[in-house]
Structure 1
Amino acid sequence: MSNHTTRRKFMKKGLMGVVAGTAIATSSPYASAAPSAKEDPFHLGFAGYTFVHFNLEETLEMIKKLEVNFLCIKDFHLPLDANAETIKAFHAQLAASNVTGYAVGPIYCRTREEMDRAFEYAKRVGVDLIVGIPLHEDLAYLDQKVKQYNIRFAIHNHGPEDKLYPNATVTVNLIKDLDTRIGLCFDMGHNIRDGHDPIADLKKYKDRIFDIHLKNVTAAAAEGKTCELGRGVIDIPAFVKMLRKVKYNGKVSLEYEKDMKTPLQGISESVGYYRGVVDALG
């Protein structure tokens, strides 16, 4: 049976939790996807890049409507040179929408000075996780930094176009002998675009996966594009099952890169689908 047939059957028989409020089931672009009744050790969040075209107020308005409570902070919402007063006001603004900034990044660390700045930024912001992209030649320096700050660093894999970290296997092989506070921000969509199975790799590399960019793509090939979570080639129910099997306890943050100037309908559908999967799997 094909993956597409399996997904269609799953949707027909089991997805009671794809709530009426998702954008696929309503004409309202501001539909609210109700939170799942199933409590997992991992929590749904958003990767900040999803909202690259929106200021913080607009971003929080969308997140609040969907009742999602976690955000990986991007520097276009909180600058890398933000002072203590700005950071305090930022956290207060998030808290007013019942949102917690749990990590920062992705941050490109093309020099050691940029890496230094990333760690100082994370320290001031008050998070214990940086999502970033260091150079291979600076991995030993990164090893020193995580020891110095006791802040974890999750390297983001970016698919076949990325010559540094195209997939989970390349990334983990580069860091496997480094401090265990260096791990992976597992972008499952880019992973499959580079020809690797995201479900098998989640199982294989579970101990080094600190963060997940939840997404689906249109093809298991370089030309695959981000799409609504339930419409792509990745078997999301199987992925959720594996999250539970490996007892993943980090965040699962939706990164939506389709219709990025008008994302609300797509993220509403995706959040509703994800919560429906979680509920239907029981």
Structure 2
Amino acid sequence: MNTRRGFVKKSVAGLFAANMISVPEKSEAGSVVKKTPDTFNLAMAGYSFVHFNLDQSLEMMKKTDVHYLCIKDFHLPLNSTPEQIQAFHAKLKEADVKGYAVGPIYTKTTADIDNAFEYAKKVGVKLIVGIPAHADLKYVEKKVKEYDIKFAIHNHGPEDKLYPNAASVYKLVKDLDERVGLCFDMGHNQRDNQDPSNDLWKYSKRIFDIHLKNVTAANKDGKTCELGRGIIDISLFVKMLRKIKYAGACSLEYEKDMKDPLAGIAESVGYFRGVCDAG
């Protein structure tokens, strides 16, 4: 019987075999042209591991060969001491993982925003993914200037009254300091019946982070699925990443089978790398 785990194993084996095929230095078509390395990194959004401790999460990242992590506060609490932060980074270093950002962090007050920026400073990252109130955006701008830390507002789809899609964020931040921008959740954007690749192009100057995912439908009933199995054209999205010369992280946020996500994460990682290699 063909199971999803079997499919993943066959896909990984196929990709490995393809990478092992030797290519002649010269052929009738001429010399082999080396592919230019991509400017973006594949990462993991910490929320994918909401049911797992840090050790378990890092083990899954090791198995899928992903080396960048957006840090969630259930792995490193907002009130962590310097000693706890140091121990956290030591674990990441041992696993060959870099924490490049923190969040998403929900803020309801200016005091919450103060805490988020101080947390990011202590953790040693230059990017916060957050969800502030509209009324606090000017205060976010003030803190961005004070700390020189970028703030990326996360869109959450049609249920989100604050930031359903990329356009709703851009409209509010376009006249603020250029360090206030978007964490572009392409899946939730699609669930709000928006075009992820087109919006990536339109708002590229303010997109600091990407939550990489696919979904089953362009409406509120759409669910996260394995990256190659949804309605978003991932190949087109990758082409647009290259066109805009996106230089941030594409953080896989896998929200299906969250108590047993490894197979889906592995399939999605393999699919994304396969699309990138084929492009």
TM-score by length of 1: 0.88
Counterpart in the other structure of 2:31: none
Larger Rg: 2
Q: Distance in 1 between matches of 2:74 and 2:237?
A: 31
Residue pairs, 1:112-123, within 5 angstroms: 112-123=110-121
Question: What's the CA shift for 1:83?
Answer: 1.0
1:63 to partner: Cα distance: 0.2
Residue equivalent to 1:243: 241
SS, match of residue 70 in structure 2: strand
Q: Which residue number in structure 2 is paired with residue 104 of structure 1?
A: 102
Q: Percent identity?
A: 66
The equivalent of 2:180 in structure 1 is 182
1:41-52 pair list within 5 angstroms = 41-52=39-50
Distance 1:193 1:200, change over 3 A: same
Q: CA deviation at 1:23?
A: 6.0
Structure 2 distance, partners of 1:249, 1:138, is 28
**Structure 1: tracts of 5 or more residues without a match:** 1-21
Secondary structure at the aligned position of 1:166 is classed as coil
Distance 1:206 1:23 in 2: 38
Deviations along 1:245-272, whole A, 9 cap, x unmatched? 0000000000000000000000000000
**Secondary structure in 2 aligned to 1:71?**
strand
Mapping 1:116-265, distance limit 5 Å: 116-265=114-263
What residue in structure 2 maps to residue 24 of structure 1?
7
- Root mean square deviation of aligned Cα: 1.8
Letter in 1 for 2:205: D
Task: Quote the residue 1:79 is aligned against.
Answer: 77
**Aligned position for 2:27:** none
Hey, what's the Cα distance between the residues in 1 that align with 2:115 and 2:6? 40
Consecutive aligned runs of 4 or more in structure 1 exceeding 3 Å deviation = none
Q: What's the counterpart of residue 87 of structure 2?
A: 89
1:145 counterpart letter in structure 2: K
* AA of the residue aligned to 1:71: L
Distance 1:234 1:143, change over 3 A: same
Q: How far did 1:27 drift?
A: 7.9
* AA in 1 matched with 2:7: I
By relative contact order (CA 8 Å, sep 6+), the higher-ranking structure is 1
Cα distance between partner residues in 1 of 2:263 and 2:223: 17
Aligned to 1:271: 269
Contact 2:100 2:127 in 1 (8 A): yes
Do the aligned partners of residues 57 and 192 (structure 1) sit closer, same or farther apart at CA in structure 2, a change above 3 Å counting? same
SS in 2 for 1:177: coil
Give SS of 1:163's match. coil
Distance, in Å, in 2 between the alignment partners of 1:26 and 1:250 is 29
Please give the secondary structure, in 1, of the residue aligned with 2:65: coil
Offset of residue 138 of structure 1: 0.4
> How far did residue 25 of structure 1 move?
3.5
Residues 157 and 188, structure 2, Cα contact 8 Å, conserved in 1: yes
**Any conservation in 2 of the 1:23–1:268 contact (CA below 8 Å)?**
no
Structure 2 distance, partners of 1:52, 1:127, is 21
Aligned length, in residue pairs: 257
Shift of 1:74: 0.1
* Counterpart Cα distance in 1 of 2:249 and 2:216: 24
Separation in 2, partners of 1:39, 1:104: 26
